[in-house]
Chain A
Amino acid sequence: DSGVTQTPKHLITATGQRVTLRCSPRSGDLSVYWYQQSLDQGLQFLIQYYNGEERAKGNILERFSAQQFPDLHSELNLSSLELGDSALYFCASSVESGRGADTQYFGPGTRLTVL
């Protein structure tokens, strides 16, 4: 158990819908990262927040957005869903602001299925 929690574990929805994925980092960790893992793309970095502020951005679509709240939990919002958005979404956390040497602890993931 990494200490990172994600809800829900599974999510099934239809194209065009909007969903919210939630992540609670390990106690004391200030950084939260979101990753998408699909069969054809592997693990892709989406976005990072540090202490409430966006710190780094990866291949995140404009239909996707995220935020980190004062209690440090984070939410990833996916809208206008398409079939290709079906994937595992992982949240990770680390103590620091995102130095390359920081160990990231990953949550169990949310499996999103878009029908």
Chain B
Amino acid sequence: LAKTTQPISMDSYEGQEVNITCSHNNIATNDYITWYQQFPSQGPRFIIQGYKTKVKNEVASLFIPADRKSSTLSLPRVSLSDTAVYYCLVGGDNQGGKLIFGQGTELSVKP
């Protein structure tokens, strides 16, 4: 399974755009990149998933360069409620369903 590396923590202020980058140098051809959000004492929540280039939904954007060795989760205009831990995961069809969570990035949004 591809190992991921993310910053342990990040600070931001309300209204700012936040970009969290994840490194996954040994990503396999059939691996997808998925981001989850977790609030304290709650289960992780799916945010966004992509394979290449750019993906966007109502809460975030995901940028994946051509070599796919990294990805960047972009949260536009964060609010206090975006304070959470964000996990980047890499997995493919041949790895079954198990998700390998790294340490995640603890995002703290301040007023």
Contact = CB atoms under 8 A, between A and B. Distances in A.
Q: A and B bound?
A: yes
Interface of A: 2, 4, 31, 33, 35, 42-45, 48, 50, 55-56, 58, 88, 90, 92, 94, 96-109, 111
A38 to B, nearest CB: 12
B101 to A, nearest CB: 4
A31 B97 contact: yes
A108 B42 contact: yes
Contacts of B95: 100
A90 B87 CA distance: 16
Please provide the 3 A-B residue pairs with the shortest distance between their CB atoms, ordered closest to farther. A98-B97, A106-B43, A100-B91
Nearest to B46: A103
Chain A interface, DSSP helix/strand/loop, else mixed: strand
Nearest to A101: B32
B93 interface: yes
Contacts of B92: 99-101
Nearest to A44: B101
A101 B93 contact: yes
A106 B44 CA distance: 6
